[in-house]
Structure 1
């Protein structure tokens, strides 16, 4: 499968290059020519414009396998973006090349120089000693940004590496403290690991690469991401991670150094490593860590380092709660907050689980440590160099708490913490006084030390000026060598702390997480607090949360019988009071309980009106009475309705006749919707009587009818005349 950044974003740019229309005048040609830097263990090819790829060399066979996609294909799939102020550019595509790739000296270093405006960028690629293996089998990528302008600019670098192990273009990753990574993942700030590893196959570490992000001269990035290459390669700088996106068809590593201000005439360097990785052990258990420890140039002390153990499950079944332990010799100690023993919760058959530790050196030498799980063990060695000779202030602090966390790693009450610090000054009585003249003038103790006075007899040595600590983003400064404070916030409290010596040397920042869970889970029952009828279904609606250690278990019972959330309870034939009870437990053992009363009442079965026919004159009123059954029904509310409100209206059973005609009055129960009706006929208030005939249907006024009757009577009484 061939790949190219000519897709999408770069199509137009590269077409201009092909036509020779760019301001740099550089023409594109097939990437068949290349420079090469190498050792006995690794080769890197640098093609035109600085595109590059690397391969490892198997010492046993002499065979090579790819570490980066473009090694033997000459394609531009790994590239570098520079952000200057608010503008982005691909160095290998859009920048002016003022020095083509050039090997320096012994063919272990290659530089390419680019120019964008008044900013000059040097890409320096060096085969160097690998901190992970102790051999010359890694490449140090360095970008040197020089501001040749007469004003300050902000500049940052994004490096995209198209990872490929052997024949696997979708090479999976492993990250200390995280485990295997086969989908996109983002790391920022303190999440950024010391290193990452790339494999041809997660179940086999025979072919692997390792990138170093921290220590050993690397510039710690502001962001690191594992990404799907085909998406990432179509972006310049910004890239949104999709954690559901698989990388197993095409993986990449992205490294960002955010823009920093570079004053006029100044330079800024950004460095990282990528090369061969290694583990020690066997097919069932192995361990990885640096082969040589580096000295922090700012503090004069050794860097901390990460040790990772891998357990390969070959049992034929899933392994659970797998214990793993690290055993350290004198001269190596666990970093503060680390635990000697760790547990891998689950490893599926044929898969690999991992556990990591942060370790510190306390003295120089070569030390062998091991990791073990059951009857399996693996060993590895590390070389710790001597610290520089001469005067070095080495403020060191430690933090202690008044109690220990439980098995889940949480404290169950407020934590009283104490930070203490000492200045572990390093002396060398044989040092040339001229090399520390300024120090001697400033410090009587050092002067006397160089003159041969026993250091232990001197009390005037630089001590600790102050202790700094940051809890959840709030910084405090305490004068002296001791600071006490209370941590009382539930959840994960992130603490940073460091000390400063009296002669101004700042200790490297340390970090600690204190997890506190003082209360049980919060239970919320969302059901309405009201009476329920036998005609209803009761749906259990419960929410349980715990902002600290998390919810371990939830038990819901209805009248003592265990049920589940969202279960539907049939209330037929259950008149009376019932108990819904929720008991929840968090991961540190705190329990919470909440009870909800479900009062079930009789349901409505019918409604009956006292009249079903009613005759009213216009302007008259009538009253209907509705009886809801059964008599003990809780909800006896009803509504009234007239089918012809222009004839008669109804309100609360009272009927008001408005016009001649007919209407149907309906009563309806609110519960169940049961109904009954009454027919209402409204007459004219003149009391007219209906007269009907074969073709007649009209009213004769009652008065006229009476007159007609009187006339008939008078006529009958009139005497006859002969």
Structure 2
């Protein structure tokens, strides 16, 4: 009975995968780094250029499915994966110094701003500055925590998944606290003479120091609701399906946000450099284009690079108007409709995951409800030209 229950959701998941079509992506290239914002799923990808003549861009994070790296926020004991919640309206746009995501809900507005940066003393971009700003637009005070999950891969071909300025190689799970943090961590490309890798700064002027950095198996980190406790006895594998699969979780503990104010977490990450990365904006001109098959993001006028200042900023913001449910709903534009459908798919996937984790037999009513939801989504998928048979 249990085997039958597991097989049924797998069929449903396959049906969902067939209709879950990304809206598109905005690619912005500067110097030795390429930034991609994936519209509709709220994820970003980074790729770095090698030193050798004729070198191509190499993904710095897992590229097969950009959803495996993510940013989550914890608001009033509720975990929200940005890009997956139907409570938020998502927007993506190019800026003069990079690109940004915006997520808007009745309670909070979140912006994730990307600006190109480089190594100290260099005008060539090799990384990005990420400013995640959470603004409280509700009528009450809030507290918000942040977690970044990076799905790394460059070191998985060797025994050394990570290195820091204090540790030559990490081969097992590890938690680093705020007081004992290294200056940075690197996911190094295996057997690469030029030291290519993905680097994340944990200190430096303007960088928000994480309260905890966790090096662990990706599935264990991804499946954890929020916190995860490491064990030195565990490697970066979880049998039977998540073998030699490493990731990093960076935790920024809960910060109070009075109504009308905001808090900002700032990161510096990109192509590894012996001297690290600085938050100074790179001078190289920005070239942007929509990825193949992607929608075109709205461009903005010139914007100055975000100032390096204390993490907490006061930014009065008016709460977005809330329509009464009884009032007629205006027609949505195609992009908004697609975002709504993707949010519905994400919620349905989470429901299936909860049913799988429950361990009990799937009832006829549950199966009928799932099939009805998928049938409705498949019907709506005809609105999108995917080119699939």
TM-score (norm 1): 0.34
| Cα displacement (A) at 1:179 | 2.6
Partner residue of 2:58 out of 61, 65, 75: 65
Q: Does the 8 Å contact 1:169/1:250 carry over to 2?
A: no
**In structure 2, what is the equivalent of residue 493 of structure 1?**
none
CA 1:88–1:39 in 2, change beyond 3 Å: closer, same or farther? same
How far apart in 2 are the matches of 1:270 and 1:95? 23
CA contact (8 A) 2:108 2:134 kept: yes
Is 1:163 the counterpart of 2:157? The answer is: no
1:214 aligns with 2:209: no
Out of 66, 69, 83, the position equivalent to 1:92 is 83
SS at match of 2:224: coil
Structure 1 residue 236 corresponds to structure 2 residue 222: no
User: Is the contact between residue 35 and residue 45 of structure 1 (CA under 8 Å) also seen in structure 2?
Assistant: yes
In structure 2, relative to structure 1, the CA distance for the partners of 1:258 and 1:292 (3 Å cut) is closer
Residue number among 40, 47, 52 corresponding to 2:38 in the alignment: 47
Paired position in structure 2 for 1:56 = 48
C-alpha contact (below 8 Å) 1:160/1:254 kept by paired residues: yes
- Distance of aligned partners of 1:217 and 1:134 in 2 relative to their CA distance in 1, 3 Å threshold: farther
Q: Deviations over 1:407-438 (max 9, x none)?
A: xxxxxxxxxxxxxxxxxxxxxxxxxxxxxxxx
Displacement of 1:148 in angstroms is: 0.5
Q: Per-residue deviation at 1:87?
A: 1.5
8 Å CA contact 1:31, 1:75 repeated in 2: no
Aligned: 1:273 with 2:262:
no
Do the aligned partners of 2:206 and 2:279 also contact (CA within 8 Å) in 1? Answer: no
1:254 partnered with 2:249: yes
Partners of 1:110 and 1:237 in 2: CA distance:
28
Matched with 1:36 is: 27
Larger Rg: 1
Partner of 1:187: helix, strand, or coil? strand
Compute the RMSD of aligned alpha carbons: 3.2
Q: Relative to structure 1, is the Cα distance of residues 18 and 121 closer, same or farther in structure 2, using a 3 angstrom cutoff?
A: farther
SS of structure 1 residue aligned to 2:45: strand
- Structure 2 counterpart of 1:180: 169
The aligned counterpart of 1:126 is 115
State the secondary structure of the residue aligned to 1:99.
strand
Distance 1:30 1:170 in 2: 36
1:293 is displaced (CA, Å) by 9.7
Does the 8 Å contact 1:89/1:95 carry over to 2? no
Contact 2:118/2:279 (<8 A) preserved? no
Q: Which residue of 2 aligns with 1:289?
A: 275
Quick one: distance in 2 between partners of 1:50 and 1:255?
18
Q: Which has the higher helix share?
A: 2
Contact 1:172 1:202 in 2 (8 A): no
Report the alpha carbon displacement of residue 141 of structure 1 after superposing the two structures with TM: 2.0
1-side partners of 2:157 and 2:271: how far apart?
15
How many residues matched?
Answer: 263
Question: C-alpha offsets along residues 108-133 of structure 1, whole Å, 9 cap, x if unaligned?
Answer: 42222223441111122222233496
1:88–1:237 CA contact under 8 A, matched in 2: yes
102, 126, 149: which is aligned to 2:93?
Answer: 102
Distance 1:132 1:237, change over 3 A: farther
CA distance in 1, matches of 2:150, 2:134: 20
Structure of higher RCO (CA pairs closer than 8 Å, 6+ residues apart): 2
Gaps of 5+ in 2: 1-5, 238-243, 281-389
Following superposition of structure 1 onto structure 2, how do residues 517-556 of structure 1 map, counting pairs within 5 Å? none
Map 1:418-437 to 2 at 5 A: none
Q: Is the 8 A contact 2:89 2:105 kept in 1?
A: no
More strand by proportion, 1 or 2?
A: 1
Q: CA 1:76 to 1:169, structure 2 compared with 1: closer, same or farther past 3 Å?
A: farther
> Does 1:154 find its partner at 2:147?
no
Name the CA distance, whole Å, in 2 between partners of 1:216 and 1:136. 18
Q: Does 1:82 align with 2:77?
A: no
Give the counterpart of 2:185 among 196, 200, 209: 196
Distance in 1 (alpha carbons) for counterparts of 2:192 and 2:54: 22
Q: TM-score of the superposition, structure 2-length normalised?
A: 0.60
Q: Tell me by how many angstroms 1:201 deviates.
A: 2.0
| 1:264 aligned residue | 259
Cα distance in 1, alignment partners of residues 269 and 26 from structure 2: 18
